[in-house]
Amino acid sequence: MFIIQSYSTAILFCVITMLCWGSWANTQKLASKTWRFELFYWDYVIGILLFSIISALTLGSFGTEGRSFIADLKQADSSNIGSALLGGVIFNAANILFSAAIAIAGMSVAFPVAIGLALVLGVIVNYSAAAKGDPVLLFLGVAFVAVAIIFNAIAYKNKNIAEKKVSAKGILLSLVAGVLMSFFYRFIAASMDLDNFVSPAAGKMTPYTAVFIFSVGIFLSNFIFNTILIRKPFEGTPTSYKAYFNGSFSTHLTGVLGGLIWGLGNSLNLIAAGKAGPAISYGLGQGATLIAALWGVFVWKEFKNSSKSVNNLIIAMFLFFIVGLAFLIYSGV
C-alpha cells in the first residue's frame, strides 16, 4: 500500500484535505437550485463510500509495504471495526445537520461556526488521545481559530440584523453539528496503529481499511438519519424516495461528485495522521473553514452589500484563521 515518509508530505496531504473539505459543499449549492439537500445528501454519501472502495482496492492494495486491503480487513478485530463504524455514524449525524445548516444559513456561516468549533474541540480530543506536536503552538493556533469563529459569528449577526433576517435555526444546527463533528475522527484514529502503518499491530487497521469501514458506517446510518429528515425536514415540506429516484443523472452525479471530493480529503488526512499526528492532521483538515468562507464570500456572494464594519470583521476572520493554521503547522516541526 502507499505510505508517506515525511512530515512535509503529511502537511501537503492535509492542505489538499483542507481544499477538498472546504470545497465539496459547492456541489450542494449547485444542486440546491432544483434539488432538496436531503436528496442531494444520499448521492453525497454514495460518493464517499465509492471513493473508499476505489482507494482501498488501488492505493491500499498495491505496492510492497504493509498489508493489502483484503488481508488487513480479514485480520481486523471486532473492537476496531466497531470503532471505525461508530466514527462513521457520529460523522453522519454531524454532517447531515451541517448540510442542513448550509442550506439554511449559507457556506460562509455554517463552515466557520460548525467546522471551526469542530476544529477547536477536535484538536483537544485528538491531542489528549495521542499527544504529538508542540502543545503551546498547537493550542495557540486553536485560540486564533476560536477568535476567527467569533468574528464570523458577529459579522453574520450584524449583517442579518441589518437585513431583518436572523436564522437562529441555522446557527443552532451549526453549533450542534460542530460539537458532534469534533468526536468522529478519534474513533477512526483509534482503529488504526498510528505509530506503524507498514506493520500495524494485530487487529489494528491501515488507513485504507479504516476509511472503508468508516464509510460503511456513514452509509448504513444514512438509512435512519436521512429517512427521518426526508419525512420531517428542518425546513420546507416533506419529500420522498420517489422524488429521489425521479432525479436526473446529472443531478445525482453532482451529489456523488461532492462525496468523492470529501472522500479524497478524508483518505489523505488519515494517511497523513501517521506522520503529523491526529491532532495536527485533523486540525489542518478542518481549516476547510477558511476555504469554504472564501467560496461563500467571493463566489456565492453571501456577504454582498454588507456594511464596512461587517466587511472588516470578515477580513479579521480570514487573518486570524491563517495565523492559527500556521501555528498548527509549526507545532509539528
Most confident of 25-34, 103-112, 219-228: 219-228
Predicted pLDDT at 162? 63
Predicted pLDDT at 333? 77
Domain assignment present for 297: no
Rounded distance between C-alpha atoms, residue 72 and residue 75, angstroms:
5
* Pair 25, 230: CB distance under 8 Å: no
Q: Is 249 exposed, middle or buried (0-12, 13-18, 19+ CB in 10 A)?
A: exposed
Domain assignment present for 145: no
Predicted pLDDT at 165? 59
Q: How far from chain centre, in Å, is Cα 268?
A: 12
Rounded distance between C-alpha atoms, residue 194 and residue 201, angstroms:
10
* Pair 7, 273: CB distance under 8 Å: no
User: At residue 266, does pLDDT exceed 60?
Assistant: yes
Burial annotation 255-264 (CB, 10 A radius, 16+ → b, else e): bbbbbbbbbb
Rounded distance between C-alpha atoms, residue 289 and residue 16, angstroms:
13
Encode pLDDT of 44-87 as tens digits: 999 999 999 999 999 999 877 889 999 999 999 999 999 999 99
Rounded distance between C-alpha atoms, residue 75 and residue 44, angstroms:
30
Q: Is the dihedral of CA 106, 107, 111, 112 positive or negative?
A: negative
Q: Which residues face 205 on adjacent strands?
A: 192
Where in the sequence is the domain holding 56, given as residue range(s)?
Answer: 7-133+164-275
User: At residue 105, does pLDDT exceed 60?
Assistant: yes
Domain assignment present for 72: yes
Domain assignment present for 295: no
Domain assignment present for 149: no
Rounded distance between C-alpha atoms, residue 270 and residue 185, angstroms:
9
Could you tell me the three cell numbers for 147?
Answer: 477568535
* Pair 36, 176: CB distance under 8 Å: no
Domain total for the chain? 1
Rounded distance between C-alpha atoms, residue 81 and residue 88, angstroms:
11
Predicted pLDDT at 270? 95
Encode pLDDT of 247-258 as tens digits: 999 999 999 999
* Pair 50, 323: CB distance under 8 Å: no
Burial annotation 10-40 (CB, 10 A radius, 16+ → b, else e): bbebbbbbbbbbbbbbbbbbbbeeebbbbbb
Predicted pLDDT at 163? 62
Predicted pLDDT at 167? 67
Pick the residue with more confidence: 245 or 286?
A: 245
Rounded distance between C-alpha atoms, residue 254 and residue 48, angstroms:
13
Q: Is 163 exposed, middle or buried (0-12, 13-18, 19+ CB in 10 A)?
A: exposed
Could you tell me the three cell numbers for 315?
Answer: 477580513
Average pLDDT, the chain: 90
Could you tell me the three cell numbers for 78?
Answer: 471486532
DSSP 8-class letter at 299: I
Domain assignment present for 230: yes
Domain assignment present for 311: no
* Pair 280, 133: CB distance under 8 Å: yes
Domain assignment present for 91: yes
Of 278, 231, 217, 254, the residue nearest 94 (C-alpha): 217
